Structure 1
Amino acid sequence: MLSKPLKTRVYIVDDHPIVLEGIKNFLQSKSDDIELKGGCGTGKEAMEALLTEEVDVLLLDINLPDMNGIDLCKLIKQQHPDINIIAISIYNERSMITKMLQNGATGYILKNASAEELYTAIKTVVNKSLYFSTDVQRSLFEAALDDPLDLPRLTRREEEVLRCIGEGKTTSEMASQLFVSTHTIETHRRNLMQKFNVSNSAALIRMATQYNLL
């Protein structure tokens, strides 16, 4: 009698409860060949879980509340080199994709991907192959042709916040000028630092200046 194939053990790291539960529910429907090992919403919880859980594939949101997902990817691969990491992100910039690959990820899909595409990505990377969703592949190709400086793509609001940061405005001043809450300003600031892969406003201004955005 042939032995039953081992299930692919999957763990999810995403700080959006709806996204987390949605992925969990889908993977549980694939229980014939996938074993869901759990999920969490922070980098700290992920590192703690991986101390006890045996995981084949980690689905990793890049934008976490306590840690840069790109740095977390590198840390996990250093401590658990056999884990296959698939980045799940709203960002489609070549800079973020390549940094995740440099830090050990073997897949990158966008959050608008279908459930079946997620399943395909999991089965692909567990077989030691790279997986990129179609939009990510297109982004990499177009960026290589048209954007040699790898300029991060910013929303209109992010551009406005970036200019305010460059002018030295405080969070409260920015919120007042742009008619939004301070929480919204901090979210944009965090997204900007994520896109430029920096950890503070000074480094953000320096990078933006290099790209002639300020």
Structure 2
Amino acid sequence: MKHLNILMVDDHPIIIEGYQNVLMATKDDDQTLRIDTANNCDTAAIMIERAGEATPYDVCFFDISLPASDDGKYASGEDLALLAKKLLPNAKIVILTMFNESFRIHNIIKEIDPDGFLIKSDLTSMELADAFQHILKSPPYYSTTVNNYVKKTFTSEIYVDDINRKILHLLSQGIKTKSLNEYISLSTSALEKRKKQLKLLFSVSDGKDETLLKEAREKGFL
């Protein structure tokens, strides 16, 4: 028998119940699952720390949007995933989230490099069941939206660093160039320079921000 210890963290108990039911109903015959659940960062952090000292988790599922810990140390599922990677080096880390913007997907892959990355709107119970078994045997497993993003971005020859990505993301949210330095700690002239570079990179001939955003979208950077 293969005994698996699992941690599921989501602030909606009904969603966790759904995940649990799917995994229990579709597990392999030789698998027994013990599933712990948490609805906020505080509870989850305690469980991860405890597991690090005693019985480690084999798989941890993290929603990104979670109530922060009281001391402000953990503000999201991303913070918990990094803690789990540190204290439970052999655990498979799975991110489940509603966020499907390219900027968030890119950051999660770069910061966490999860064994599984599932966008909730892609998920059916069958896909969750398949993803779980796939992650155990040969990670990573990415759901459709993540896969499409990865294909588009990593086959593109354009290199856009984190600050440039953030500029694109903020412009797409309707933030004006003169206000960008409220979000990014660079001077207005440095930000202007980066915007010019982006327009060169994306071959924007008319100089318009709208054209830049359109090109960035088509190439999977937004």
Could you tell me the TM-score, scaled by structure 2's length? 0.62
- 2:201 is aligned to none
Structure 1 residues 146 and 62, CA, compared in 2 at 3 Å: closer, same or farther? farther
Matched, 1:110 2:119: yes
Q: Secondary structure at the match of 2:114?
A: coil
Gaps of 5+ in 1: 168-200
CA RMSD of aligned residues (A): 3.4
Matched, 1:27 2:23: yes
- 2:134 is aligned to 124
- 1:57 is aligned to 59
Alignment check: 8 A CA contact 2:22 2:128 kept: no
Query: Separation in 2 of the partners of 1:96 and 1:29?
Result: 32
Q: After superposition, where does 1:115-194 map in structure 2 within 5 Å? A: 115-144=125-154, 145=156, 148-149=159-160, 151=165, 159=173, 166=179
Deviation at 1:147, TM superposition (A): 7.4
Q: What is the total number of aligned residue pairs between the two structures?
A: 171
Structure 1 residues 137 and 119, CA, compared in 2 at 3 Å: closer, same or farther? same
Deviation at 1:68, TM superposition (A): 2.3
- 2:11 is aligned to 15
Gaps of 5+ in 2: 69-74, 196-208, 210-222
Deviations 1:14-59 (A, max 9, x none): 1123322221222232354351422111122112123145421111
Alignment check: 8 A CA contact 1:86 1:107 kept: yes
Deviates more, 1:75-84 or 1:27-36: 27-36
- 2:36 is aligned to 38
* Rg larger for: 2
Alignment check: 8 A CA contact 1:70 1:99 kept: no
Deviation at 1:94, TM superposition (A): 4.0
Counterpart of 2:116 in structure 1: which amino acid?
G
Alignment check: 8 A CA contact 2:56 2:88 kept: no
Query: Separation in 2 of the partners of 1:48 and 1:89?
Result: 22
Q: Secondary structure at the match of 2:66?
A: coil
**Residue identity (%):** 24
Q: Secondary structure at the match of 2:7?
A: strand
Counterpart of 1:118 in structure 2: which amino acid?
L
Deviates more, 1:143-152 or 1:116-125: 143-152
- 2:218 is aligned to none
Deviation at 1:105, TM superposition (A): 1.6
Matched, 1:79 2:87: yes
Query: Separation in 2 of the partners of 1:91 and 1:42?
Result: 18
Deviations 1:147-198 (A, max 9, x none): 753746879xx936x67xx59xxxxxxxxxxxxxxxxxxxxxxxxxxxxxxx
